[in-house]
Amino acid sequence: MRSFLTLGQFIIENQKDFPYAKGELSRLLRDIGIAAKLVNREVNKAGLVDILGSADATNVQGEEQKKLDVYADEQFIQALRSGGECCIVASEEHEDIVCIDSHISSTAKYVVCIDPLDGSSNIDVNVSVGTIFSIYRRISVDGKATLDDVLQQGDRQVAAGYVIYGSSTMLVYTTGKGVNGFTLDPSIGEFCLSHPNMKIPESGQIYSINEGNYIKFPQAVKNYIKYCQEEDSASNRPYTSRYIGSMVADIHRNMLLGGIFLYPSTSSYSKGKLRLMYECNPIAWIIEQAGGKAISGEGRILDIKPETLHQRTPAFLGSKAMVEKLEEFIAATN
Ligand code: AHM
Ligand code: MG
């Protein structure tokens, strides 16, 4: 029988690589892994809620049944609160920062930005969803952590990852020393190292974009899409279009097969849809750590200076050669 390294074992073995190795970041990652398992359990029975729940949407314990994105948010915040390593959370589910005021976390050093259940509109139709997280060291030295602790540039992340609740559930993360992927083995309830040292192919044949918005895209993006669709045997075009509408799932596929994911500005939304702090920054760092490229159209995503918690940015991420080709189109229209 093959033996796998579990996420817990892997974290401990690699703890020495962390810049401030005292075990706190390891424990934080472990806490996120535990919450992910709880969320996975609920996501897996999403279709059963109407069958098992009573008409007034209460479960057998008499608790009100929550929407899964609210449930996921509660699980992650609860795990971070009881773990004691995180002082402040920025979540897609909360307009303001969530300060974790407990006797344990007053000295906690880490800040977590999280999208607890990204692509949650896909749950009702049994399509993959994900969790995206980003971890920073707190800047302030004492007192209560503040918004300034959260609004750090993406290149200051100390860990970032995503969980994909798909046909199998995977946790993929980086601490700046490459990217490793762990698949949840439901029979033992452990994430096991299945994709060590993930590398995104240098180029690919998949482009992922919501083409329904085509008319609203900037000219450079329209030109690039046309390029993807043109026939050219030397570069294996036309490319294949694949868009799930769940960023984690689209990114994960492109990580494995090679490809580019695009969410540009549109004539309706000048910054696109995706949020910088808990969607674009963590995914951008993972893509870069896997050898790919992640840009906003005006430079590297990780170089953006954040101004507000829920700010948005156009995002183009994926195989290096494909993103660089897109950059040529952007340069040509500027
Ligand atoms: P959400 O955080 O509200 O779920 O929205 C983010 C999701 C991404 O996962 C996905 O890439 C994108 O929204 C899809 O948006 P659209 O339907 O506009 O293509
Ligand atoms: Mg989201």
Per-residue DSSP letters for 14-33?
Answer: HGGGSTT-SSHHHHHHHHHH
Same domain, 136 and 279: no
Ligand 2 centroid to residue 231 C-alpha, Å: 34
Provide, for the chain, the percentages of residues in helix, strand and coil under a 3-state DSSP scheme, each rounded to the nearest 5: 40, 25, 35
Residue 271 located in a structural domain: yes
Q: 38-70 in b/e burial notation, b at 16+ Cβ within 10 A?
A: bbbebbeeeeebeeeeeeeeeeeeeeebeebbe
Same domain, 146 and 77: yes
Same domain, 167 and 258: no
- Determine whether the annotation assigns residue 216 to a binding site: no
Identify the residue with better confidence: 194 or 49.
194
Residue 43 located in a structural domain: yes
pLDDT at 36 over 90: yes
* Closest ligand 1 atom to Cα of 121: 4
Tell which of 146, 164, 195 closes a domain: 195
Tokens, residue 135: 């971890």
Q: Give the range of the structural domain holding residue 155, as residue numbers without chain letter.
A: 7-195
Same domain, 80 and 115: yes
pLDDT digits (tens, 9 = 90+) for 247-295: 999 999 999 999 999 999 999 999 999 999 999 999 999 999 999 999 9
Same domain, 52 and 169: yes
Same domain, 168 and 277: no
**Residue 141 to residue 178: CA distance in whole angstroms:** 29
Residue 112 located in a structural domain: yes
Same domain, 263 and 171: no
∠ CA 121-122-125, rounded to 5°: 120
Band of pLDDT at residue 66, cut at 50, 70 and 90: low
Ligand 1 centroid to residue 19 C-alpha, Å: 34
Residue with tokens 């329209």: 222
Counting the structural domains of the chain, the total is: 2
Same domain, 50 and 171: yes
- Closest residue CA from atom 6 of ligand 1: 119
pLDDT digits (tens, 9 = 90+) for 136-192: 999 988 788 899 999 999 999 999 999 999 999 999 999 999 999 999 999 999 999
pLDDT digits (tens, 9 = 90+) for 179-189: 999 999 999 99
- Determine whether the annotation assigns residue 279 to a binding site: yes
**Residue 286 to residue 130: CA distance in whole angstroms:** 15
Band of pLDDT at residue 61, cut at 50, 70 and 90: very low
- What CATH number did the domain enclosing 164 receive? 3.30.540.10
Identify the residue with better confidence: 2 or 108.
108
Ligand 1 centroid to residue 245 C-alpha, Å: 6
- Determine whether the annotation assigns residue 115 to a binding site: yes
Tell which of 195, 217, 232 closes a domain: 195
Same domain, 135 and 276: no
**Residue 316 to residue 327: CA distance in whole angstroms:** 10
Ligand 2 centroid to residue 33 C-alpha, Å: 19
* Closest ligand 1 atom to Cα of 250: 11
- Determine whether the annotation assigns residue 246 to a binding site: no
Kindly identify the ligand whose nearest atom is closest to the C-alpha of 133: 2
The CB of 119 under 6 Å from ligand 1? The reply is: yes
pLDDT at 215 over 90: yes
Could you tell me the sign of the dihedral formed by the alpha carbons of 147, 148, 153, 155, in that order? negative
- Closest residue CA from atom 7 of ligand 1: 119
Ligand 2 centroid to residue 273 C-alpha, Å: 9
Tokens, residue 148: 């300034």
**Residue 33 to residue 173: CA distance in whole angstroms:** 11
Same domain, 226 and 181: no
Tell which of 175, 195, 215 closes a domain: 195
Residue 1 located in a structural domain: no
pTM over 0.90: yes
